[in-house]
Chain A
Amino acid sequence: MKQQAAVLGVGQTRHRSKRTDVSMAGLCREAADRAVADAGLTLADIDAVVVGKAPDLFEGVMMPELYLADALGAVGKPLLRVHTAGSVGGATGNVAASLVQAGVHRRVLALAWEKQSESNAMWALSINPPFSMPVGAGAGGYFAPHIRAYIRRSGAPSHIGALVAVKDRRNGALNPFAHLQQGDITLEKVQASPMLWDPVRYDETCPSSDGACAVVIGDAPAAAEAPGPVAWIRATSMRSEPTMFAGKDHVNPAAGRDCVAALWRQAGITDPINEIDVAEIYVPFSWYEPMWLENLGFAAPGEGWRLTEAGETAIGGRIPVNPSGGVLSSNPIGASGLLRFAESALQVMGKGGEHQVPGARVALGHAYGGGSQFFSMWVVASTPS
Chain B
Amino acid sequence: MTQPATAPLRAPLDIEFDYTRSLGPVLSQFMAALAQRRILGARGADGRVHAPPFEYDPVTAEPPGDLLPVGPEGTVVSWSWMPEPLAGQPLAVPFAWALIRLDGADTALLHAVDAGSAAAMRTGLRVRPRWSAARTGSIRDIACFEPSGGPAVPDDPGTAEAADGMTVTPVRLHYMHTASPGEGFYLRGLAERRLLGQRCGVCGQVYVPPRGTCPADGVPTHEEVELSPSGTVTTFCIVNVGYPGQRVTPPYVAAAILLDGADIAFGHLVLGCDPSEVRMGMRVRAVWGDEGVSHFEPNGEADAPYESYERFM
Min C-beta distance of A238 to chain B, whole Å: 19
Task: Please classify the interface of chain B as helix (H, G, I), strand (E, B), loop, or mixed, using the class held by over half of its residues.
Answer: mixed
Indicate if the CB atoms of A145 and B264 lie closer than 8 Å: no
Stretch at the interface among A83-91, A195-203, A327-335: A195-203
Q: Does B59 contact A (CB under 8 A)?
A: yes
Closest-CB distance, A51 to chain B (whole angstroms): 14
Given A26-B24, A70-B56 in contact, is the A137-B310 Cβ separation under 8 Å? no
B19 touches A60 (CB 8 A): yes
Asked whether B313 lies within 8 Å of A153 as measured between CB atoms, the reply is: yes
Interface presence of A246 (CB below 8 A) = yes
A242 CA to B218 CA, complexed, in Å: 11
Q: Mark A273-314 against chain B: 1 for CB-CB distance below 8 A, else 0.
A: 000000000000000000000000000000000000000000
Measuring CB to CB, which residues of chain A are less than 8 angstroms from any residue of chain B? 19-26, 29, 43-44, 57, 59-60, 69-73, 75, 115, 117-120, 122-124, 126-131, 133-138, 140-141, 144-146, 148-149, 152-153, 194-200, 242-251
The one of B9, B19, B59 in contact with A131, judged by C-beta atoms closer than 8 angstroms, is: B9
CB pair A131 B187 closer than 8 Å: yes
The residue of chain A having its C-beta at the shortest distance from the C-beta of B190 within the complex is A131
A120, B16: Cα distance in complex, Å: 11
Determine whether the beta carbon of A246 is less than 8 Å from that of B205. Answer: yes
Q: Is B302 an interface residue (CB 8 A)?
A: no
Within 8 A of A (CB), among B146-205: 165-166, 169, 171, 177, 179, 183, 187, 200, 203, 205
* Chain B residues whose CB sits within 8 angstroms of the CB of A140 once the complex forms: 237, 241
Q: Which residues does chain A contribute within 8 Å of B177, judged by CB atoms? A: 129-131
Bound together, the chains give a CA A123 to CA B236 distance in angstroms of 20
Q: List 12 A-B contacts (CB under 8 A).
A: A21-B25, A22-B24, A26-B24, A43-B61, A72-B61, A117-B22, A118-B19, A122-B241, A123-B17, A135-B252, A246-B207, A251-B313
Among B66-74, B77-85, B243-251, the one that faces the other chain is B243-251
Residues of A within 8 A of B87 (CB): none
User: Which of these, B11, B22, B166, B241, contacts A130 with CB under 8 Å?
Assistant: B11
Number of residue pairs spanning A and B whose beta carbons lie under 8 angstroms apart: 183
* A115: chain B residues within 8 A (beta carbon): 22
Q: Are A141 and B17 in contact, CB atoms less than 8 angstroms apart?
A: no
Q: Are A198 and B20 in contact (CB under 8 A)?
A: no
B278 to chain A, nearest CB (A): 10
Question: What's the tally of chain B residues with a CB closer than 8 Å to chain A?
Answer: 69
Chain A facing B: main interface SS: loop
Given contacts A126-B243, A140-B241, contact A23 B23 (CB under 8 A): yes
Are A129 and B13 in contact, CB atoms less than 8 angstroms apart?
yes
Taking a contact as CB atoms under 8 Å apart, the answer to whether A26 and B25 are in contact is: yes
Closest chain B residue, CB of each to CB of A134: B247
Choose among B22, B58, B239 the residue that contacts A75 (Cβ–Cβ < 8 A).
Answer: B58
Asked if B303 lies at the interface with its beta carbon under 8 angstroms from chain A, I say no
Interface membership of B95, Cβ < 8 A: no
User: Which residues of the partner chain B approach A126 to less than 8 Å between Cβ atoms?
Assistant: 243, 245-246
Tell yes or no: B54 within 8 A of A by CB.
Answer: yes
Q: How far is the CB of B313 from chain A (nearest CB, A)?
A: 4
Known contacts A70-B56, A118-B20; A148/B236 CB under 8 A: yes
Q: B56 contacts A130, CB within 8 Å?
A: no
* Residue from B235, B241, B256 in contact with A197 in the complex, judged by beta carbons closer than 8 Å: B241
- The answer to whether B183 and A246 touch across the interface, beta carbons within 8 angstroms, is no
**Do A197 and B244 form a contact, CB below 8 Å, given A70-B57, A149-B313?**
no
Q: Are A148 and B280 in contact (CB under 8 A)?
A: yes
